A and B are shown apart, each in its own frame.
Chain A
Amino acid sequence: GESVGLHLPTLSVQEGDNSIINCAYSNSASDYFIWYKQESGKGPQFFIDIRSNMDKRQGQRVTVLLNKTVKHLSLQIAATQPGDSAVYFCAEIRSGGSYIPTFGRGTSLIVHP
């Protein structure tokens, strides 16, 4: 069946390192992807998004890469800080009008000072 999955459930890095979180998706009809950040004790919050007609989207210290050929997303955080510690989910929005967000397992990013 269709699925959104993450390759690494936990990623531990040192402060200042670059972090890469990966996400695989299986529905080529998905046309919108959102990364959510969930801090401890809180609900997930929008972090960054990318449309399927883009290969790359950049924010401050954050880059999302989309490879439609292999149905793969990555979230790159440069110079990771302790405040980046959270669980990151990728959500796949499928075309067809319903736009129901479907989430992967999540990756826990732990940043050590």
Chain B
Amino acid sequence: DADVTQTPRNRITKTGKRIMLECSQTKGHDRMYWYRQDPGLGLRLIYYSFDVKDINKGEISDGYSVSRQAQAKFSLSLESAIPNQTALYFCATSDSRVVGGEAFFGQGTRLTVV
């Protein structure tokens, strides 16, 4: 089983719809992240959380919200989806006890907004 699990893996939704992407981890890490990947633009940070009740905006948070329901769960919501939010979304985790700790990524969610 994957250590970082994202659901759904693929989703097509209509403009204006609310959608939630979910992430759960079994690594016991305290830090969790949501990134967006677009061709030619690399991975851009949307939101991050250093612990439960800690939520921070990243580089491109507009149009997104998150919820850290438990240490193991971090969900990303698009309140009103728009076509330019079509992208590949990745959840990642890391351990604050590890200096420069590597990020562990989920398999990604491919979201298409039509």
Contact = CB atoms under 8 A, between A and B. Distances in A.
B43 A103 contact: yes
Nearest to B42: A105
Contacts of A56: none
A6 to B, nearest CB: 8
Nearest to B9: A41
A44 B105 contact: yes
Interface string B82-111: 000000001010101001111111111000
A16 interface: no
A105 B45 contact: no
B34 interface: no
Contact of B43 (A31, A44, A46): A44
Contacts of B105: 43-45
Label chain A's interface by main secondary structure: strand
Interface residues of B, number: 25
A43 B42 contact: no
Interface string A66-107: 000000000000000000000001010100001111111110
Contact of A101 (B4, B96, B103): B103
Contacts of A61: none
B9 to A, nearest CB: 10
A49 B100 CA distance: 9
Contact of B102 (A49, A100, A102, A103): A49
Contacts of B92: 43, 101
A52 to B, nearest CB: 10
Contact of A99 (B41, B44, B94, B104): B94
Interface of B: 4, 33, 35, 40-45, 48, 50, 90, 92, 94, 96, 99-108
